[in-house]
Amino acid sequence: MRIHVDLAAQTLALFADDGACIRRYPVSTALNGAGETEGSECTPRGCHRIRAKIGADLPAGAAFRARRPTGEIWSAELAAQHPGRDWILSRILWLCGEEPGRNRGGEVDSMRRYIYIHGTGDDQTLGMPRSHGCIRMRSRDVIELFELVEAGVKVEIVA
């Protein structure tokens, strides 16, 4: 399997080993566009791998801080109590860059930048760039994807 993220189309596609597209999801990537530099709040391009899967068996909408569940379950009411919070929900697929100097090592290291594929609140618009660098998905979609992939799966991010 492999994952292909198209920044221009704001989609994530999952491909089987035979090349067949088995799932396609709307996503939201960085409001600041494509880029690899730490602190840029851009989505990094190039070849990545899923380094870690976090959140197995947690309920849909489970909130995370620093990759740990907070015990909160997202709701519109909870979101209204915390305006401006960048919600990381349901599941985390933590990405690791595979290209030294482009998305691995130094100031361009995707893993040290905490670049994830993760769930977002139902109030968030997908199909348009809005994130701080991560790849946001509907909670139900990221849960489905999480169940279909293993750590080590290739993730290609293209502009």
Domain 2-158 has CATH 2.40.440.10: yes
Q: What is the C-alpha to C-alpha distance for residues 145 and 5, in angstroms, rounded to an integer?
A: 13
Q: What is the mean pLDDT of the chain?
A: 97
The answer to whether residue 137 scores a pLDDT higher than 90 is yes
Q: What local confidence, expressed as pLDDT, does residue 123 receive?
A: 85
What's the pLDDT band for 28 if we cut at 50, 70, 90? very high
CB atoms within 10 A of CB 19: 7
pTM attached to this predicted model:
0.96
User: Of 99, 104, 92, which Cα lies nearest the Cα of 134?
Assistant: 92
Least confident of 64-68, 123-127, 133-137: 123-127
15 CB-contact burial (10 Å; exposed 0-12 / middle 13-18 / buried 19+): middle
Q: Where are the domains of the chain?
A: 2-158
Residue 28, SS3? strand
| Residue range 3-12: mean pLDDT, rounded | 98
